[in-house]
Copies of this chain bind each other. A is one copy, B any other.
Amino acid sequence: MGATFGAMNEIRVLTDPDLVVTPSSSHGRRQPGIGMRLASPRVFLWLASAILLAFLLVPLAAIFIRAIPSGAFNDSLGDPVVREALQLSLVTTALTLLVAIVLGTPVAYLLARYRFRGRDTLDTLIELPMVLPPAVAGVALLMAFGRRGILGPTLSTVFGLEIPFTTLAVVMAQTFVAAPFFIKAAKAGFESVDPDLEHVAATLGISRIQTFWSVTVPLSLPALMGGAVMAWARALGEFGATIMFAGNFMGRTQTMPLAIYQTMESGRLNAALVLSSILIVVSFSVLIIFKGLARFAAGDIGRPNA
């Protein structure tokens, strides 16, 4: 689609030829009114984007600017504390993402495709963990699953499971704060899929579950991937709920954010920034690789609008 001719800007409009208007197209007849009307939103589009992007990126850059001269990267990477924290972060966030996707997808589907009494209430209840200050979330988790919590004694006597201070608690804390992001995004994604396509799949003898996998999921992939990224990122940066519910113990519950915090606590801000840079670089790589893989899996055109 979107044809090319002549020399074009590097930045190309994917879908709307409006912006392909070249200066000569107005043939000296362009009415100023129309020109203005077309120009100002475009100016706004770029200006607003530039402002927000600068706002988001300058602080990130600041971390590196401060961290790099300290030259402590190699030391940090060699530090077993850092390595263990990084490894724990990657493992627990992967598990969190898995849980969020496996259990969150049904919830999102339910909310998107079924109509039942209290649906809106449920939808809103699910949003509340996002509202809670993380430390409160941690306290809430303790009160629910802790030794004296609502479910804690049952878990302990029936399953012999004491959750706080374990790696499981880290995953639970992360899931608690991150899963709602996946659910919200997936729900919006499912809602954007034309139900007619699902109906037709049914007439073709394809079961509901197969339809879900082969039609609904591919068509809502951008939303699902966006949700997965948000949930993963939120989990990776999670600090307050984790330290409250899981505590801070190297190799078991000390994730990167906890390690960074502890470094800051000991008055070594620069070292903390180095760890933060490592976290940023690792996340960036993971995200880029993940997107590349997804793009590859979808053959780059998995979406109708691609």
Contacts and interface: CB of A to CB of B under 8 A. Distances in A.
A113 B41 CA distance: 15
Interface stretch (A76-84, A246-254, A279-287): A279-287
A184 B256 CA distance: 24
Contact of A124 (B49, B184, B276, B287): B287
Interface string A162-206: 000000000010011001110011011101111100110010000
Contacts of A66: 143
A205 B12 CA distance: 22
A233 interface: yes
Interface in A1-60: 10-19, 37-38, 41-42, 44-46, 48-49, 51-53, 55-60
Interface in A201-247: 202, 207-209, 212, 220, 222-223, 225-227, 229-230, 233-234, 236-240
B179 A56 contact: yes
A97 interface: no
A261 B294 CA distance: 40
Contacts of A233: 127-128, 130-131, 180
Contacts of A58: 144-145, 150-151
A75 interface: no
A52 B110 CA distance: 12
Interface size range of chain A in the complex:
35 or more
Q: Which of A128, A144, A150, A269 is the most central at the interface, judged by chain B CB atoms within 10 Å of its CB?
A: A128
Contacts of A12: 114-116
Given A115-B12, A135-B264, A181-B230, A283 B128 contact: yes
A237 B10 contact: no
Contacts of A149: 62
A125 B192 CA distance: 26
A86 interface: no
A157 interface: no
B61 A150 contact: yes
Contacts of A140: 59-60, 62-63, 276
A248 B217 CA distance: 45
The 9 closest A-B pairs by CB, nearest first: A133-B257, A130-B233, A59-B140, A62-B143, A41-B209, A192-B192, A52-B103, A15-B195, A11-B116
